[in-house]
Amino acid sequence: MSDSEYLRDLKTVWGISCHSMWAELLSISITENLVRSRYAKIESSACLDEIVYAPEVKGRLGHLTKDRYLERVPNYKDAVITNRVIILSASFELYLNNFVDAYLAARQQFYDQATGKRTAAGDKIYGEVMKVRGLSARIKKMAEMMPFKIKSLNAGLDYVDDVYMLRNVLAHRAGQVDDCAAQNIKHISFRSGDRVVITAEQMMALAAPVIKVAEGLDRKLT
């Protein structure tokens, strides 16, 4: 069975984001190695954008000297990886919204082909699902109202919850973990007050089950 256009979009966005993440990490590491190998030859007051040709960043780095750059390398790498969780969560949420629309549109009791609009029953289900907070909770609500089976997705829904909660911590709490997040994030251990930092391995371990959940939902569109 081929993927829906919505699943293809999700995989494309996430694939490009991953490739970009590895390229950004490579760029940071290349610059770090360049600075370390030429450290004695680089003046302490020199800005790195005067040494490396990159016109798109000219004037945007502040006074980024060799020492300041080397101090910040770990933070740069952390940010490149950690912020990907926002892209993953947002692209999965868009997929889920499109899935709900497409699932209802394929069933005549919920969608009137003549008018191109959902029926009253379809509007009720759509409204009830969309008002639920949390992505896995929406999936469960959809399964409850239709109903369709989601037992095969259950293991991945915990990862969807983690990604959604991490996204909220990053977007709404400047990355600082509160008690609720510390107690409910299952696959990465955080304490209340920690700053969210995700390694590349952790990011990929979160992403794979989330994509599998989308693939499982997609099979229900046929």
Question: Could you tell me the residue range of the domain that residue 95 belongs to?
Answer: 5-219
39 SS3 class: helix
Q: Which residues of the chain have pLDDT under 50?
A: none
Based on the structure, what is the number of domains in the chain? Answer: 1
- What radius of gyration do the chain's Cα atoms show? 22
pLDDT given for residue 30 in this prediction: 94
pLDDT given for residue 58 in this prediction: 85
pLDDT given for residue 52 in this prediction: 80
Dist. CA 172–CA 175, nearest whole Å: 8
pLDDT given for residue 104 in this prediction: 96
pLDDT given for residue 74 in this prediction: 96
The end-to-end CA distance of the chain, in Å, is 8
Q: Inter-axis angle of helices 66-82 and 200-218, to 10 degrees?
A: 20
pLDDT given for residue 113 in this prediction: 93
Report yes or no on whether pTM surpasses 0.75: yes
Query: DSSP letter at 111?
Result: E
Dist. CA 118–CA 52, nearest whole Å: 56
Look-up of token digits 């304490």: 191
